[in-house]
C-alpha cells in the first residue's frame, strides 16, 4: 500500500490518542510500512532496553552466542573475568563478522585475517601489523555495548545516553520481586519465525478479548475474581486474581505454588510487557516468558519458554508433570501464531483501515500510544552506540 504523504504527522493519530473507549487502533500502515519500521528501529529498538534472553544461556566464563538486534550483529559473552558483555560482532580491521552460533572460548579470531580479541573485546593479536606506523591495539578493541541484567534476563541498549535499566523498569520490582525470577530455570524453548509485525504478536499477548474465539478449544475459560491494569515504567501489566495456575490446561494439575510469592502475586497472575520485546506471564507456579524479536516490518522471531523454581525442577516427578505445561503451550501458542499471520495478511490489504478498540483491550491501546510517543517524538535522532 502507499503511505500517506507524511505518516509521522501526529494529526493522523489523533483518534489513537483518545481514551480507550473512544479510541481507534493504529492505522494499518504502522504494521506494514518500511518507513514506519525504520523509525521504530531508530527510536525504539536501538534506544530501549532490548532483551537478548536468559543469562543462564551463558553460565560459564568463556560462554558466548552471536545475536542480532534488528540486524546489528553482537556477541553476548560471559567474559573470562566473570562479566557479561555485549560486544560489536564486527572486526576492527576491515569489518568482517567475527563469530556465528555459540560456544565456549578464550578468544575470538576473525575469520578474514585472524585478528584476535579476548572475551572483553580487547585486541590481543594483529599479525602483519608490525610495520604499520602509529598503530596501537588499544584503540582497536571491539565496541562494548551496554548490557544490564534484571530477573535473570540480559538486556542491551545501543544508546550510550539511555537511562539505566532499573530506571527503565520503574516500579516493576514491587510487583514481581517475590517470584525470584533470576533463579528460575527453564529446560525447553520453542523458537518460531512468523510473517507478522512485532506489534501484532505483542498486542495479542496483552489482551484476552480473543480468547473465546482463538482459544475456544484450549484456554478459553479463565475464571477470575479481580483484574486491573497498570505499570509505572516502560512496561504495562494486567494483574488478575484467580484460583489455581494459568499455566496448565483447564482441569489439569500442576506443581506446588512458588513458596515465596507475596501480595497479588500469590493470588493470581501478572501479565507483563516490558517494552520493547520481553513479555511474561508470572503465575503461581511458574513464569511463561516470550522474547519478541523483530526481524523486518512483517517478520518476527519468537522465543517461548517456561521456567520454574529450582526446587520444582529438582522434584522426582518434574519430567512427568512438566509435560502438562508443555501441552498447554503447544496447544495455545500455535493458535496465536496462526491468528497473528492471518491478521498481518489483512492489515497488508490496500483496503485495510484503522478500526475501533474494545474496552477489553486497554493494553493494546497502551502499546499503540507507547509506540507513538517514541516514533512521533520531535527529537527522534538516531541513537549513538559510541560517544
Residues that bind ligand FES (CB under 6 A): 91, 93-96, 110, 112-115
Which of Fe ion, ligand FES, none interacts with 115 (beta carbon under 5 to 8 A by kind)?
ligand FES
Q: How far is the CB of 98 from ligand FES (least distance, A)?
A: 7
Which of ligand FES, Fe ion, none interacts with 23 (beta carbon under 5 to 8 A by kind)?
none
Q: How far is the CB of 96 from ligand FES (least distance, A)?
A: 4
Based on CB atoms, which residue is closest to Fe ion, 206 or 258? 206
Q: Distance of CA 322 to CAs 56, 118, 268, 286, 318, Å?
A: 19, 40, 20, 11, 6
SS3 52: strand
Based on CB atoms, which residue is closest to ligand FES, 98 or 290? 98
End-to-end CA distance of the chain: 38
Residue sitting closest to Fe ion (CB): 336
Tell me if 276 sits within 8 A of 293, measured CB to CB: no
Q: How far is the CB of 348 from ligand FES (least distance, A)?
A: 39
Residue 80 C-beta-side C-alpha neighbours within 13 Å: 11
SS3 21: helix
Judging by beta carbons within 10 Å of its beta carbon (0-12, 13-18, 19+), is residue 234 exposed, middle or buried? buried
Which of ligand FES, Fe ion, none interacts with 336 (beta carbon under 5 to 8 A by kind)?
Fe ion
Q: How far is the CB of 111 from ligand FES (least distance, A)?
A: 7
Based on CB atoms, which residue is closest to Fe ion, 261 or 304? 304
Q: How far is the CB of 255 from ligand FES (least distance, A)?
A: 49
Helix, strand, coil abundance in the chain, percent, nearest 5: 30, 25, 45
Sign of CA dihedral 192, 195, 197, 202: negative
Based on CB atoms, which residue is closest to ligand FES, 112 or 250? 112
Based on CB atoms, which residue is closest to ligand FES, 112 or 163? 112
Q: What is the torsion angle, in degrees rounded to the nearest 10, for the CA atoms of residue 315, residue 317, residue 320 and residue 322? A: -30
Q: How far is the CB of 198 from Fe ion (least distance, A)?
A: 16
For binding to Fe ion (CB under 5 A), which residues are involved? 336
Based on CB atoms, which residue is closest to ligand FES, 95 or 334? 95
Amino acid at each position: 500500500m502507499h503511505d500517506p504523504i507524511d505518516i509521522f504527522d501526529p494529526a493522523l493519530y489523533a483518534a489513537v490518542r483518545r481514551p480507550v473507549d473512544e479510541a481507534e487502533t493504529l492505522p494499518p500502515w504502522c504494521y506494514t510500512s518500511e518507513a514506519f519500521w525504520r523509525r521504530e528501529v531508530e527510536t525504539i529498538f536501538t534506544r530501549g532496553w532490548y532483551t537478548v534472553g536468559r543469562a543462564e544461556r551463558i553460565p560459564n566464563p568463556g560462554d558466548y552466542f552471536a545475536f542480532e538486534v534488528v540486524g546489528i550483529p553482537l556477541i553476548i559473552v560471559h567474559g573470562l573475568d566473570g562479566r557479561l558483555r555485549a560486544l560489536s560482532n564486527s572486526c576492527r580491521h576491515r569489518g568482517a563478522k567475527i563469530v556465528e552460533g555459540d560456544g565456549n572460548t578464550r578468544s575470538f579470531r576473525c575469520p578474514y585475517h585472524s585478528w584476535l580479541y579476548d572475551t572483553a573485546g580487547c585486541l590481543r593479536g594483529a599479525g602483519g601489523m608490525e610495520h604499520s606506523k602509529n598503530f596501537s591495539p588499544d584503540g582497536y578493541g571491539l565496541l562494548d555495548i551496554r548490557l544490564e541484567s534484571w530477573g535473570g534476563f540480559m538486556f542491551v541498549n545501543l544508546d550510550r545516553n539511555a537511562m539505566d535499566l532499573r530506571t527503565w523498569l520503574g516500579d516493576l520490582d514491587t510487583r514481581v520481586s517475590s517470584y525470584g525470577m533470576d533463579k528460575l530455570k527453564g529446560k525447553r524453548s520453542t523458537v518460531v519465525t512468523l510473517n507478522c509485525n512485532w506489534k501484532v504478536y505483542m498486542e495479542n499477548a496483552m489482551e484476552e478479548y480473543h480468547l473465546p474465539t482463538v482459544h475456544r478449544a484450549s484456554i478459553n475459560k479463565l475464571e477470575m475474581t479481580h483484574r486491573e491494569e497498570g505499570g509505572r515504567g516502560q512496561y504495562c501489566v494486567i494483574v488478575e486474581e484467580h484460583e489455581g495456575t494459568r499455566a496448565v490446561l483447564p482441569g489439569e494439575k500442576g506443581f506446588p505454588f512458588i513458596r515465596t510469592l507475596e501480595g497479588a502475586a500469590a493470588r493470581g497472575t501478572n501479565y507483563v510487557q516490558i517494552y520493547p520485546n520481553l513479555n511474561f506471564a508470572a503465575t503461581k507456579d511458574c513464569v511463561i516468558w516470550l522474547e519478541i524479536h523483530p526481524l523486518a516490518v512483517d517478520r518476527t522471531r519468537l522465543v517461548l519458554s517456561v521456567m520454574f523454581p529450582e526446587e520444582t525442577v529438582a522434584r522426582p516427578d518434574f519430567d512427568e508433570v512438566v509435560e502438562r505445561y508443555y501441552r498447554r503451550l503447544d496447544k495455545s501458542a500455535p493458535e496465536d501464531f496462526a491468528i497473528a499471520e492471518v491478521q498481518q495478511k489483512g492489515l497488508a490489504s490496500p483496503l485495510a483501515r484503522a478500526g475501533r478498540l474494545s474496552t477489553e483491550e486497554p493494553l493494546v491501546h497502551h502499546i499503540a500510544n507507547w509506540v507513538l510517543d517514541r516514533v512521533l517524538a520531535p527529537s527522534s535522532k538516531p541513537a549513538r552506540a559510541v560517544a
